[in-house]
Amino acid sequence: MLEKAQRRLQPSARSAVPPFMVMDVMAAAARLEAQGRRVIHMEVGQPAVGAPATALAAARAALSAGPLGYTETLGIASLRRRIAKAYGEWHGLDIDPARIVVTTGSSGGFVLAFLAAFEAGDRVAVALPGYPPYRHILAALGCQPVCIETTAQTRWSITGEALLALHRAQPLKGLIVASPANPTGTMMTAPALADLIRCAEDAGIVVISDEIYHGLDYAFAAETAARLTDDAIIINSFSKYFCMTGWRIGWIVAPPSLMRAVERLQGNLAISVPTLSQIAAEAAFDAREELTQVKHCYEENRRILLEGLPRAGLDSFLPVDGAFYLYADVSRFSTDSFAFATRMLEEAGVAATPGVDFDPVRGRHFLRLCYAGSREEMHEAVQRIGAWLKDAPR
Ligand X SMILES: Cc1ncc(COP(=O)(O)O)c(C=O)c1O
Q: Which residues bind ligand X (CB under 6 A)?
A: 45, 105-107, 131, 178, 182, 210, 212, 237, 239, 245, 250
Q: Which is nearer to ligand X, 71 or 237 (CB)?
A: 237
Q: Which is nearer to ligand X, 159 or 245 (CB)?
A: 245
Distance in angstroms (rounded) separating the CA atoms of residues 111 and 262: 10
CB 262 within 8 A of CB 116: yes
Minimum CB–partner distance for residue 388 and ligand X (Å): 27
DSSP string across 183-231: TT-----HHHHHHHHHHHHHTTPEEEEE-TTTT-BSSSPPPPHHHH-SS
Minimum CB–partner distance for residue 237 and ligand X (Å): 3
Q: By three-state DSSP, how is residue 83 classified? A: helix
Return the closest-CA partner of residue 22 out of 105, 133, 111.
133
Alpha-carbon separation of residue 245 from 79, 133, 241, 358 (angstroms): 18, 16, 10, 20
Q: Which is nearer to ligand X, 73 or 239 (CB)?
A: 239
Minimum CB–partner distance for residue 287 and ligand X (Å): 18
Distance in angstroms (rounded) separating the CA atoms of residues 29 and 382: 18
Minimum CB–partner distance for residue 366 and ligand X (Å): 16
Minimum CB–partner distance for residue 250 and ligand X (Å): 4
CA torsion angle 25 135 103 277 (round to 10):
0
Q: Which is nearer to ligand X, 250 or 349 (CB)?
A: 250
Minimum CB–partner distance for residue 5 and ligand X (Å): 33
Minimum CB–partner distance for residue 65 and ligand X (Å): 27
Q: Which is nearer to ligand X, 210 or 359 (CB)?
A: 210
Minimum CB–partner distance for residue 131 and ligand X (Å): 4
Minimum CB–partner distance for residue 142 and ligand X (Å): 21
Distance in angstroms (rounded) separating the CA atoms of residues 192 and 186: 13
Report the amino acid identity of residue 290: E
Distance in angstroms (rounded) separating the CA atoms of residues 181 and 186: 6
The CB-nearest residue to ligand X is: 105
Q: Which is nearer to ligand X, 73 or 237 (CB)?
A: 237
Q: How many CB atoms lie within 10 A of CB 293?
A: 12
Q: Which is nearer to ligand X, 178 or 356 (CB)?
A: 178
Report the amino acid identity of residue 234: I
Distance in angstroms (rounded) separating the CA atoms of residues 36 and 377: 17
Q: Which is nearer to ligand X, 76 or 323 (CB)?
A: 323
CB 320 within 8 A of CB 218: yes
Distance in angstroms (rounded) separating the CA atoms of residues 386 and 379: 11
Report the amino acid identity of residue 362: R
* DSSP run (H or E) holding 356: none
Q: Which is nearer to ligand X, 26 or 385 (CB)?
A: 26
Report the amino acid identity of residue 373: G
